[in-house]
Amino acid sequence: MNESQDGLPFAGEADRTLLQHKINLETAQISWKEVERFFASGDLVSIAAELDLVAVALAFAEDRTEQIQGWLRQGLVGKTTVQQALHWHEHNPSLWAVVVKPWVLVQEKVAA
């Protein structure tokens, strides 16, 4: 198995690019009502607007624990809170989501 420039193991750059493309294709806009059940089961992970959802999903898929822990410490990634769920329930924004089993990663893009 090869290592990327940052020392992370993966089968090859082509495999990583293919995985990134697959994640990108599986990312879609979704309503809160459609992901609410994942919040109830504890499987919904909120991603801060300043992060790239596909890049975060790729980190989850590649099990890049150190990077994910850094985002967790910074409050940029984390299980969706009750306050966030209530906000989304009340305002029903359009969200971006992608599944990286067992998680559903979700992000609300703030209007520029």
pTM over 0.75: yes
> Using CA atoms, how far apart are residues 76 and 53, in angstroms rounded to an integer?
11
Domain count, the chain: 1
Chain position carrying tokens 């993966």: 10
Measured over the CA atoms of residue 48, residue 53, residue 58 and residue 61, the dihedral's sign is: positive
In a domain, 96, yes or no: yes
In a domain, 93, yes or no: yes
Mean pLDDT by 10 residues, the chain (112 residues): 48 86 95 94 97 97 97 98 96 94 92 62
In a domain, 22, yes or no: yes
